[in-house]
């Protein structure tokens, strides 16, 4: 396997992607972490920083950053899978707002660590602009700002933009307005995760790559090379979780795919905007997302790839020509300057984890020593940092503001057995696509899409 082929991000690293040595045999630790993506590495980082005497082992089936951490859209944002109004309904206004403020602080915290550890990951805190390109989408933008105000956020957190203000940030075709939040940074995700792996090793954490975990149980992580015995076992496997015994229905691995253009000339960027490297999206149902990379490419992605029966995850699922073609078409619709003559040089994808109630969670079962974090629904670059800090506090038995947040020890229901799971997820995708097409033609909101979104818990 050529790890460089997994994404543009991994292909553009200067350092070789040579795997670290695997686990040499049975070993003892204080904490064993399964998964060397953002969640596992942030957990190791904060544990080692808080208590350098801890013996921490990280086990990774491939290499650090093999999964979503090395393939995502590069948004370190304050987005959380569960909306602020939904959190308020479940946990009360004050706890919901505490969760959102914690996410705002998380963006700043990642920036702090990046600077402190000297991780060169093309960090640029330019915020996020979400465009409204129809009257229906503009209505959603207004509603998003109204909801933010009702729950205690101000213009400093989310502001409504008119057409000129939105176009000044991102000059997409037909912009009628939008919203802007400063709580996001564009990053090179693979540089971040690989730099983080080096940073934890400097703090004495042992990272073993090419070491698949075949079973988790209280007090142990089992691999073909040996067993790591530890009183605390952390599952940090996100979209790859269903491959673990007993976890098939814990999350649904849903694929998100991306394309990247060749580096664009400054004259083209003058027509597109994104001068501050703002990340961007719009208010359609089927999520799209993009960023201007540090080397002048436009990296652009979206949902829409099918969910695969039985929560299967395979390398060939990373590539769906139909979805890549659709992304390229949408990119040209958004920015006509990116016509067919502008080459797309990279295409890639990978799975993300979706809990049945669309609720990310972090927790520790003290009776078994089994800990977990995940279910980020694609918002994991920032949320994983908050998860790592929270797990570090939980594992060390500290009672802090982080351990009091409403996502701590939340237990999502399991997904339905097959074929219901396959039918539900793929039907949902189809409804959302149809709703976007209908709204584009009629400029009226889709009740069916709203109903199905509620059913999925989003």
Cα gap 317→216, rounded to integer Å: 26
- Three-class secondary structure of residue 416 per DSSP: coil
Which residues have a Cβ under 8 Å from the Cβ of 37 and sit 6 or more positions away? 64, 65, 66, 67, 68, 69, 70, 193, 236, 238, 384
Which residues have a Cβ under 8 Å from the Cβ of 112 and sit 6 or more positions away? none
The pLDDT of residue 434 is: 78
CA-wise closest residue to 376 among 257, 282, 254, 234? 254
Decide which of 3.40.640.10, 2.40.110.10, 3.20.20.70, 3.30.9.10 is the CATH code for 127-186+253-354. Answer: 3.30.9.10
Q: Are 280 and 291 in contact (CB under 8 A)?
A: yes
DSSP secondary-structure letter at 309? Answer: G
CA distances from 31 to 48, 166, 367 (A): 10, 47, 15
**10-residue mean pLDDT series, the chain (458 residues):** 95 96 98 98 98 98 98 98 94 97 98 98 98 96 97 96 98 97 98 98 98 98 98 98 94 96 98 98 94 98 88 91 95 96 97 95 98 97 98 98 98 93 86 76 62 41
CA-wise closest residue to 237 among 337, 371, 336, 88? 371
The answer to whether the Cα torsion of 283, 157, 68, 6 is positive or negative is positive
Domain boundaries, given as residue ranges, for the chain: 127-186+253-354, 419-456
Place of tokens 């503001």: 401
- Tell me the pTM: 0.95
The pLDDT of residue 447 is: 57
Which residues have a Cβ under 8 Å from the Cβ of 250 and sit 6 or more positions away? 241, 242, 355, 412, 414, 415
Burial (CB count <10 Å: 0-12, 13-18, 19+), residue 370: middle
The pLDDT of residue 438 is: 73
Cα gap 48→51, rounded to integer Å: 5
The pLDDT of residue 424 is: 84
The pLDDT of residue 341 is: 93
């Amino acid at each position: 396997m050529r790890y460089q082929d997994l994404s543009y991000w991994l292909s553009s690293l200067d350092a070789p992607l040579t795997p670290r040595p695997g686990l040499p045999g049975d070993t003892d630790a204080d904490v064993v972490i399964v998964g060397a993506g953002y969640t596992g590495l942030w957990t190791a980082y904060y544990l080692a920083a808080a208590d350098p005497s801890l013996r921490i082992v990280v086990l990774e089936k491939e290499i650090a950053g093999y999964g979503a951490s090395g393939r995502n859209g590069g948004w370190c944002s304050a987005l959380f899978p569960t909306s602020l109004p939904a959190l308020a309904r479940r946990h009360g206004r004050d706890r919901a707002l505490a969760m959102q403020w914690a996410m705002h602080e998380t963006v700043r915290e990642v920036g702090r660590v990046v600077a402190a550890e000297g991780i060169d990951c093309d960090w640029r805190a330019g915020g996020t602009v979400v465009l409204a390109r129809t009257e229906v989408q503009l209505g959603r933008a207004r509603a998003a700002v109204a909801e933010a105000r009702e729950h205690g956020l101000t213009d400093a957190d989310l502001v409504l933009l008119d057409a000129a203000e939105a176009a000044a940030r991102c000059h997409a075709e037909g912009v009628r307005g939008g919203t802007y939040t400063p709580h996001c940074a564009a990053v090179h995700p693979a540089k971040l995760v690989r730099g983080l792996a080096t940073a934890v090793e400097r703090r004495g954490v042992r990272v073993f790559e090419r070491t698949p975990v075949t079973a988790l149980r209280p007090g142990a992580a089992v691999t073909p090379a040996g067993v790591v015995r530890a009183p605390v076992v952390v599952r940090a496997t996100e979209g790859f979780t269903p491959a673990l015994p007993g976890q098939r229905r814990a999350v649904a691995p849903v694929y998100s795919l991306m394309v990247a253009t060749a580096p664009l000339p400054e004259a083209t960027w003058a027509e597109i905007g994104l001068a501050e490297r703002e990340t961007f999206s719009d208010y359609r149902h089927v999520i799209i997302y993009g960023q201007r990379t540090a080397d002048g490419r436009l990296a652009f992605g979206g949902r829409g790839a099918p969910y695969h029966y039985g929560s299967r995850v395979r390398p060939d699922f990373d590539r769906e020509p139909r979805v890549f073609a659709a992304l390229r078409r949408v990119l040209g619709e958004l920015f006509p300057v990116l016509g067919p003559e502008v080459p797309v040089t990279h295409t890639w994808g990978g799975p993300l984890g979706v809990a049945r109630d669309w609720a990310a969670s972090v927790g520790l079962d003290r009776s078994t020593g089994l800990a977990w974090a995940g279910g980020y629904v694609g918002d994991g670059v920032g949320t994983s940092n908050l998860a790592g800090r929270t797990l570090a506090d939980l594992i060390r038995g500290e009672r802090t503001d982080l351990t009091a947040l409403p996502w701590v020890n939340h237990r999502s229901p399991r997904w339905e057995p097959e074929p219901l799971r396959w039918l539900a997820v793929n039907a949902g995708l189809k409804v959302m696509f149809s709703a976007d097409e209908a709204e584009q033609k009629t400029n009226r909101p889709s009740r069916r899409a709203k109903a199905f979104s509620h059913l999925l818990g989003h």
